[in-house]
Amino acid sequence: MKPSKEFDELVKLVSILRKECPWDRKQTHESIKDNLIEEAYEVVEAIDQKNYDELKKELGDLLLHVLFHSRMAEEKKKFSIDDVIRGISEKLIRRHPHVFEGAAADSDHQVAVNWENIKLKEGKSSTLDGLPERLPALIRAQRMQEKAGNVGFDWSEWELAWEKLNEEIDEWREAVGQQDQENRKDEFGDLLFSLVNVGRLLQLNAEDSLRQANRKFENRFRYIEEHLKAGNKDLASSSLEEMDELWDEAKMKGY
């Protein structure tokens, strides 16, 4: 085969790999499910870096997983990639009545409200259905809050959520002074959840914000390591004061 831009040719290529490649033939839904998560995060990383060449490649890897899982399901006579495409097409049309049926939706908020109401009519038992337990906790917290907010269960303004955040800070501080580790964990979770809520109401994404903070810490810490190494020192033989000084230096340089 030769590389092609045709979707059907890619479907055919995946089918051939499942038959001819020992590694591909051995895989199951379960064996590559974590790889799927990894590929999704690599897509996110390319987006954060605004690296379109990398984004193109990573979207290809993600598409491969969609085709691969669909092919494995077809082998079990469960469904095919055609069923996947038809299913998402039906869903998109059904959940966009303001585009295809003339329903009213004057804002993105109204679209979100309609979306949640349509999902409930489809048989969902809760507005919160569809949020996997395996989602990173910060993402899941923000998505739950967004979904609840779409149906009216929300603070009217961020200042009110801030008051709740202060309340949770006080409760966690009290829990820290006690010896009940389980209660500390419980109150810490409430505090994080409230912090996500305030950020959400200020149009901030908790996962993106923490990812940025992680990147900043990593850059500055690596700066400390590199400059200590340049001076023939390491972390173990350096004082906290020396490391703090390099940290401030890295901060001043924009790391």
Indicate if 175 and 240 belong to the same structural domain: no
pLDDT at 102: 80
Structural domain includes residue 47: yes
Indicate if 234 and 170 belong to the same structural domain: no
Indicate if 163 and 87 belong to the same structural domain: no
Q: What is the CATH number of the domain that holds 25?
A: 1.10.287.1080
Residues near 67 by beta carbon (within 8 Å), at least 6 away in sequence: 10, 11, 14, 81
pLDDT digits (tens, 9 = 90+) for 113-156: 888 888 888 888 888 888 888 889 999 999 999 999 988 899 99
Indicate if 183 and 221 belong to the same structural domain: no
Task: Please say which residue of 92, 109, 135 terminates a domain.
Answer: 92
pLDDT digits (tens, 9 = 90+) for 198-243: 999 999 999 999 999 999 999 999 999 999 999 899 899 999 999 9
Range of the domain at 243: 208-252
pLDDT band at 79 (very low <50, low <70, confident <90, very high): very high
Indicate if 190 and 217 belong to the same structural domain: no
pLDDT band at 112 (very low <50, low <70, confident <90, very high): confident
Q: Is the per-residue pLDDT at 195 higher than 90?
A: yes
User: Rounded to an integer, what distance in angstroms lies between the CA atom of residue 46 and that of residue 79?
Assistant: 31
Indicate if 192 and 243 belong to the same structural domain: no
Indicate if 187 and 216 belong to the same structural domain: no
Yes or no: say if 85 and 69 are a contact pair by the CB < 8 Å rule.
no
User: Rounded to an integer, what distance in angstroms lies between the CA atom of residue 21 and that of residue 23?
Assistant: 6
Provide the number of structural domains found in the chain.
3
Structural domain includes residue 193: yes
Indicate if 86 and 24 belong to the same structural domain: yes
Q: Which of 61-65, 132-136, 191-195 has the lowest mean pLDDT?
A: 132-136
